Structure 1
Amino acid sequence: MALICNSYIFKINNIKRPPAGLFLCLFFCLSPGFGQKSDSYNPIISAIEFQGLQKTKQDILEREIQHQLNMALDSSLAKEDRNRLENLGIFSAVTWNTVPLEDGTAILNFRVIESISMVPIFSPVYDENMGWFLILGTRLNNFRGRNEKLTLRGMFGNVSAYDVIFKNPWVFGDHVSLAFDFSKKIFEHYFLPYRQQTQVFEINIGRYFGYERRLTAGIELEKKEYFGEDTTDFYYFSPELSAVYDTRDIYNDPSKGMYIFWYGKYYWHLNQPKPESTTNWIQSYSAYYSPLKGKRKTTLGINLNISSTRGFRNEFWLGSLGGVNTVR
């Protein structure tokens, strides 16, 4: 800038018009467009950096970035990367910009503000069948700085229970997730003269295939005990499989498209006099459409749900699967 001004002043002195030349120099240097990049500014991105990280590990962000190094800036791809970072659910704000370098290249810079990681759980609950009970616990978002979620929860009152839930949406490979749940629950049975105690351990591994398909497989070990005039118990070994096909744009506009869900679970009863098994199969088909666009968008949805259970069933089994869709 100094060289430009000196050049103008030198010319002004030669033609003996310093006031006009000085005004022209100041007007040129202070004009709004001077030193700014136009909309067509597409430098080569030589580095990608992240600012604002306090607890989160940098590789958690790096694996979400699809903009490549040593290529011209693609602003649409940078915006998609920003959306992916925001969709992690661990940042309250995500922005991006470019930082020019002396060699003509630029740094693609993402700036984040981390959200609160510890969320307390306190909720009094009234259930028509169980009565009043209190839920206390905490949920740790972004546990260990790796976008993991850990929930520790207990129930007190007419229901005594605790559970530990852990979820990692990307534990290794390409979007391979891991989740496990361990829980114990004691309560009065809804309609049988028993006090029920249920213990469950479940582990699942899932994987995304693109943005539309997700497959999850897991196993569950379950023990149910019924205490009354006599004692009855059941042990289950249950492999399960679920698949999702989702055509909605979950990052920008999930208001149109299809959502299809299949879920199957096989219960192998371990302590029955003779080998018994039960199969539970659920299908869900949903479609979404927005007839009214704009800020006050209206979204319509329709759903078809099919559920079936085949195999061994007794009064205890029917009680455990009962719900709002069960007619007794």
Structure 2
Amino acid sequence: MRWLLIILISFTSFVNAQNSIVLEVEFIGAKKTKTSFLEALISTKKNQPLDSVQLNKDLILLKRLPAISNANYKVIKGKENNYSVSFNIEENFTIIPETGFWTSANNQFSYKIGLYDYNFSGRNITLGGFYQNNGYNTYGANFKAPNLFSNKFGLAISYQNWKSEEPLYFDNTSANYLYNNISYEVLGLYQVNFKNEINFGVNIFNEKYEYISGATNPTVPLSLDVDKMLYKFVFSYNNLDYFYQYVDGFKSVFYGQYVSSDNEFQDNFLIFWNDFFYYKRVGEKGNWASRLRVGLSSNKKTPFAPFALDNNVNLRGVGILVDRGTGSIVLNTEYRHTLYDKKKFTVQGNIFVDSGTWRNPGGNLNDFFKSENVRIYSGIGLRFSSKKIYNATFRIDYGFSLKDKSGGLVFGVGQYF
């Protein structure tokens, strides 16, 4: 009996020795970001057991925030089994002006200006808006608070009044239309766990098409004005880790949308696509990045097909909105190499290949394998990035077709993917 008592006392002492407790959690370097918000966001808590696995997850979670460019932590042993955890934060500047200018195919000079705060009130809230003039007035406003109600549940609200001149394709020809979309969107944002998140909600919008020039067909209306409702569901799996301009890991995002409308030219339709991202660090200065997009929609023979073939969306060098389809398979892959790297600024060069294929409106799945629907572009580019300003990467790429003589420059803000 005496030996049993000794064993029980020894076992209890051993368990207590292994049960390290977090005595304090502090954040060093957090200036604009509220420490109360960060404390609520992470899983490492005061007076809770110290868990190194959870600490590493919290570190990755912090680095994913727009407000934080980089972070690390220290664990300091105190009396007995009490420990202090100190997160060292490098904050981004998150009040970002948005500017852009370009010349369209009809030589119309266009520009876009806006202002966004990606850490409004120091609580990971995005708030801002933009104005665009491309011969027509376009404007919008956005509010996104992923942690508005708790560390897992938030809300996103947006409004947009968009106008642009767009081509519609039918009978191997095209016509230019003035397109106007006025939309109101509300989404619920729910973080299931460290890697998985769900967004769900509704978008109520009005679409108008007005004929400007080009071919006509009795089955294609010269004007269209219709109210629609879009139900949206997004599921994302995120296992990415960031270190300034470098990214490592895998991410998958599924988008599902059901659009209801009541007009003879556009039936209710379902559209879904999935983006798969893979990033791999290569040595100290290299980063291989790839994106595969696979998507399908209701297969109606209509010039209003939802998947667009466009410079700024899928194939660099192909042109602006050159075709539409009811299915899309696109692979973008590139190697990024850091050419210049200082404390606040970096320059990367990249070599890329963009390839894609489309299903024609009303076509079959074998459209994906027809050579006339397959596009392959390659090229080179540069990235100029700030390490202290969120998403402050200016990119320029030149892409050229590996099948014909087409090609061109593509400018943008942020990495292409």
Using the size of structure 1 for normalisation, the TM-score is 0.69
Secondary structure at the counterpart of residue 60 of structure 1: helix
Larger strand proportion, structure 1 or 2?
Answer: 2
Structure 1 residues 153 and 228, CA, compared in 2 at 3 Å: closer, same or farther? same
RMSD of aligned C-alpha atoms?
Answer: 3.7
C-alpha contact 1:163 1:182 (8 A) present in aligned 2? yes
C-alpha contact 2:247 2:279 (8 A) present in aligned 1? no
Which of 286, 305, 308 is the equivalent residue of 2:297? Answer: 308
Correspondences of 1:227-266 after superposition (within 5 Å): 227=210, 231-246=223-238, 248-250=239-241, 255-257=248-250, 259-266=251-258
CA distance in 1, matches of 2:94, 2:189: 24
Structure 1 residues 105 and 274, CA, compared in 2 at 3 Å: closer, same or farther? closer
Correspondences of 1:175-194 after superposition (within 5 Å): 175-190=152-167, 191-192=174-175, 194=177
CA distance in 2, matches of 1:232, 1:186: 14
Residues 47-103 of structure 1, C-alpha deviations (whole Å, 9 max, x = no match): 223344443233320123322434675556445433322321213453444567678
Which of 25, 29, 45 is the equivalent residue of 1:48? Answer: 25
Secondary structure at the counterpart of residue 164 of structure 1: strand
CA distance in 2, matches of 1:79, 1:245: 18
Aligned to 1:208: 191
Residues 144-196 of structure 1, C-alpha deviations (whole Å, 9 max, x = no match): 22111112110124242001122112222452232222111223343545433
Structure 2 portions without partners, runs of 5+: 1-18, 168-173, 213-221, 311-322, 326-359, 361-417
Aligned to 1:17: none
Which of 117, 135, 138 is the equivalent residue of 2:115? Answer: 138
Secondary structure at the counterpart of residue 171 of structure 1: coil
Aligned to 1:109: 86
Offset at 1:133?
Answer: 0.7
Residues 197-220 of structure 1, C-alpha deviations (whole Å, 9 max, x = no match): 221112222323223333221211
Residues 105-154 of structure 1, C-alpha deviations (whole Å, 9 max, x = no match): 45333343433231112221233368421111111121122111112110
Aligned to 2:35: 58
Which of 290, 301, 309 is the equivalent residue of 1:323? Answer: 309
Percent identity between matched residues is: 19
> How many pairs are equivalent?
279
CA distance in 1, matches of 2:94, 2:290: 33
Secondary structure at the counterpart of residue 86 of structure 1: helix
Secondary structure at the counterpart of residue 41 of structure 2: coil
Which of 243, 264, 268 is the equivalent residue of 1:277? Answer: 268
Aligned to 1:27: none
Structure 1 residues 122 and 297, CA, compared in 2 at 3 Å: closer, same or farther? closer
Which of 147, 171, 180 is the equivalent residue of 1:170? Answer: 147
Greater Rg by CA: 1
CA distance in 2, matches of 1:72, 1:244: 30
Which of 131, 137, 146 is the equivalent residue of 1:154? Answer: 131
Secondary structure at the counterpart of residue 154 of structure 2: strand
Structure 1 portions without partners, runs of 5+: 1-41
Secondary structure at the counterpart of residue 22 of structure 2: strand
C-alpha contact 2:63 2:242 (8 A) present in aligned 1? no
Structure 1 residues 83 and 222, CA, compared in 2 at 3 Å: closer, same or farther? same
CA distance in 2, matches of 1:168, 1:84: 16
Larger helix proportion, structure 1 or 2?
Answer: 1
**Letter of the structure 1 residue corresponding to residue 121 of structure 2:** R
1:196 aligns to 2:173 (yes or no) = no
C-alpha contact 2:62 2:71 (8 A) present in aligned 1? yes
C-alpha contact 1:141 1:150 (8 A) present in aligned 2? yes
Aligned to 1:268: 260
CA distance in 2, matches of 1:274, 1:121: 36
C-alpha contact 1:130 1:188 (8 A) present in aligned 2? no
CA distance in 1, matches of 2:237, 2:264: 40
